[in-house]
Amino acid sequence: MLYFSKLRILSITLFSLLFILITSSNLFKIDDSFFDKKINLGLDLQGGSYLLLEIDNTPVIEQKLQNLSTTIKNYFKDKDIRIKNIKIEDQKIFFNVDDQSKKLIVETFADEDSEINPYYPRFKSHQLFLEDTGLNFKVSFSKQGLITLKTSSQDQAIEIVRRRIDEVGTNEPNILKRGNNRILVELPGLDDPMRVKSLLGKTANLTFRFVTNNENDNFGVEKLKFEDGIEEATVSKRIIISGDNLLDAQPQMDTQNNQTIVSFSLDRVGAKRFGRATSTGIGKQLAIVLDGKIISAPVIRDTIASGSGQISGGFTFQSATDLALLLRSGALPAPLNIIEERTVGPDLGQDSINAGMIALAIGFLLVILFMFVKYKIFGLITNITLIINLFILLGILTLFEATLTLPGIAGIILTVGMAVDANVLIFERIKEELKDEKNNIIAFDSGYIKSRTAIIDANITTLLAAVILFFMGSGPVKGFSVTLGVGIFTTLFSVYFIARLFTSIYVSRNRDKEKLI
């Protein structure tokens, strides 16, 4: 165990030097793509926001069912089957048919190549689930149908979220899918987390609709509140143009009355419709509705054929900017709820870094001092190993551009405390061996060999704990498991290669000395 070939010594030295170099690249600016890697600081250290958003798919499901019920009605109408008493309740479509048609309905839904109930050829499962309750039929989304629906609304939502965040212009946002109805957003170094939160919290569903007093409007009407939450107006459900028709939106200053407005331009279809509506509806009020609330309802004075217009509604410059941003980036398919938020200000992050570094320095010094007092020359060997170990650990974190969090720093400090364990096990074993064995070299050799199983078992248990933490933990805690886990490998390496190298050099030079350890 004590013999090292020249080649081995060289490669251990080079390896250690390499990691010392990589680690120091965190401190200096080096113009080389390989050495230009840096440890990422977690949000808790550099400041920033972690947001977990959940998509509320209920409106999407209801909308889809609404469309489906029309499709079902028309589809069977063509086959001369009359669908009766169709209604939607509790995310299910209910309907009746004559008794003689029942069989055909069931067959149509169960058909593998069904037009009305697709997905079977692709997923080996239909989109819809049909149930005959005896009284009526009940249609709901199957498991696969719901998954597909959720995935597609998640895909759309993540795109919109990305656009909105890009427009705010934060550096290196991290936007990821979680499950099939969640989106994780990590925003490092954010100035104004409240603004991003309110931007992401809005669906930004914009519609232009006529204000009407006619309760019997063909499309139905609904009562909507104004933004102030007090006034109300009855608005037709007929949508003249929606946010989809917008090409651009910008905040502007209206020079006439010094108001902030949002000006917009429409695509061709939108411009045409807007032109027609404004020509036939002169004198009427046009409500501009955002997420179920009326922003304003100006009276149409002229035909607007240019395909551009403006929205006023008592905006501040900030709120006009935000509305324009929301309109440019498009509406979310479904509302998003922020179900988890963790925001750390930059000054707290810096305080945490400082505290972590002070704790690391003090912990390190205490351990080094203790080891030196206890083991003298072998304490020194352990300490040098410990320093190199720290460099290798930080070097690996740098190399993989791992994220360092505050618990991660704690993990490093803990590694320092526990790293000496392996060396202590070895040295204590050697001491025992020396009681019976007078030959230093043999005693050291068997000390290393006999302590090996205990060291490996002991380290595997800690590693297992770290692995479980890595898979179960989130955010900062994950950072802890990374440093703890990587620390075990670097510790074993430094104990068995570096410390053993120093030990072997020292022992072979003092092979006849008594009371070596």
Partner 1 sequence: MIAFNKYYNHFNIVSILLITISLIFLIFKGLNFGIDFKGGTLIELRSTDTKINVTTLRDKFSQMNLGDISVKKFGNDTDYLIKFENKDNKKDIIKEIKIDLDKSFGNNFNFRRVENVGPKVSAELLKSGVIAISLSLAIMLFYIWIRFEWQFSFGAILALFHDVIVTLGVFSLFSLEINLSIIAAVLTIVGYSMNDTVVIFDRVRENLRKYSDIKIYELTNISINETLSRTIITSATTLLALLAIYFFGGEILKGFSLAMILGVVFGTYSSIYIANTVLVRLRVSQKTVLREDDNN
- Identify residues 330-389 at the interface with partner 1 (CB under 8 A): 337-345, 347-348, 351-352, 355-356, 358-360, 362-363, 366-367, 370-371, 374
Phi and psi (nearest 5°) for 84? -115, 160
How do beta strands 293-296 and 221-226 pair? parallel
Residue 140 has what DSSP assignment?
Answer: E
* Radius of gyration of the CA atoms of the chain, in A: 35
Within 33-52, which residues bind partner 1 (CB under 8 A)? 44, 52
Query: Would you say 145 or 193 has its CB closer to partner 1?
Result: 193
Helical axes 406-436 vs 440-450, angle rounded to 10°: 130
> DSSP letters of 44-62?
HHH-EEEEEEEE--HHHHH
Distant-in-sequence, close-in-space partners of 118: CB < 8 Å, separation ≥ 6: 126, 127
Within 465-484, which residues bind partner 1 (CB under 8 A)? 465-466, 468-469, 472-474, 476-477, 480-481, 484
**Is 227 near partner 1 (CB under 8 A)?**
no
The alpha carbon dihedral of 44, 45, 47, 52 has a sign of negative
User: x/- contact string, 402-441, with partner 1 (CB under 8 A)?
Assistant: ----xx-xx--xx-xxx-xx--xx--x---x---------
Query: Would you say 175 or 458 has its CB closer to partner 1?
Result: 458
Min. distance of Cβ 14 from partner 1 in angstroms? Answer: 29
One-letter identity of residue 322: D
Min. distance of Cβ 467 from partner 1 in angstroms? Answer: 9
Terminal Cα distance for the chain, rounded: 17
Outline where 211-305 has alpha helix (H). 268-280
Closest CA to 391 of 16, 14, 10, 9: 16
One-letter identity of residue 179: G
**Is 167 near partner 1 (CB under 8 A)?**
no
Min. distance of Cβ 365 from partner 1 in angstroms? Answer: 8
**Is 58 near partner 1 (CB under 8 A)?**
no
How far is 441 from 516, CA to CA, in rounded Å?
11
Min. distance of Cβ 29 from partner 1 in angstroms? Answer: 28
Phi and psi (nearest 5°) for 7? -60, -40
User: x/- contact string, 181-220, with partner 1 (CB under 8 A)?
Assistant: ------------xx--xx--x-------------------
How far is 66 from 92, CA to CA, in rounded Å?
10
Distant-in-sequence, close-in-space partners of 268: CB < 8 Å, separation ≥ 6: 307
Query: Would you say 51 or 266 has its CB closer to partner 1?
Result: 51
Min. distance of Cβ 370 from partner 1 in angstroms? Answer: 6
Count, residues near partner 1 per rule CB under 8 A: 71
Query: Would you say 117 or 462 has its CB closer to partner 1?
Result: 462
Within 479-508, which residues bind partner 1 (CB under 8 A)? 480-481, 484
Query: Would you say 36 or 340 has its CB closer to partner 1?
Result: 340
Min. distance of Cβ 505 from partner 1 in angstroms? Answer: 24
Min. distance of Cβ 197 from partner 1 in angstroms? Answer: 7
How do beta strands 246-254 and 259-266 pair? antiparallel
**Is 232 near partner 1 (CB under 8 A)?**
no
Outline where 312-400 has alpha helix (H). 317-329, 346-375, 377-399
Within 440-459, which residues bind partner 1 (CB under 8 A)? 450, 453-454, 457-459
Query: Would you say 247 or 418 has its CB closer to partner 1?
Result: 418
Closest CA to 105 of 130, 134, 84: 130
Helical axes 377-399 vs 6-24, angle rounded to 10°: 60
Interacting span for partner 1 (CB under 8 A) from 245-253, 260-268, 401-409, 498-506? 401-409
Query: Would you say 371 or 393 has its CB closer to partner 1?
Result: 371
Min. distance of Cβ 449 from partner 1 in angstroms? Answer: 12
Angle at 503 between CA 501 and CA 506, to 5 degrees: 110
SS3 92: strand
User: x/- contact string, 281-320, with partner 1 (CB under 8 A)?
Assistant: ----------------------------------------
Distant-in-sequence, close-in-space partners of 200: CB < 8 Å, separation ≥ 6: 51, 53, 161, 164, 165, 185, 336, 338
Min. distance of Cβ 472 from partner 1 in angstroms? Answer: 4
Min. distance of Cβ 225 from partner 1 in angstroms? Answer: 17
Query: Would you say 12 or 410 has its CB closer to partner 1?
Result: 410
Query: Would you say 162 or 342 has its CB closer to partner 1?
Result: 342
Query: Would you say 424 or 516 has its CB closer to partner 1?
Result: 424
How far is 120 from 145, CA to CA, in rounded Å?
10
Closest CA to 414 of 349, 488, 303: 488
**Is 21 near partner 1 (CB under 8 A)?**
no
Query: Would you say 457 or 514 has its CB closer to partner 1?
Result: 457
Closest CA to 149 of 127, 134, 168, 171: 127
Query: Would you say 193 or 243 has its CB closer to partner 1?
Result: 193
Tokens 């302590």 -> residue: 451
**Is 163 near partner 1 (CB under 8 A)?**
no
Within 109-148, which residues bind partner 1 (CB under 8 A)? none
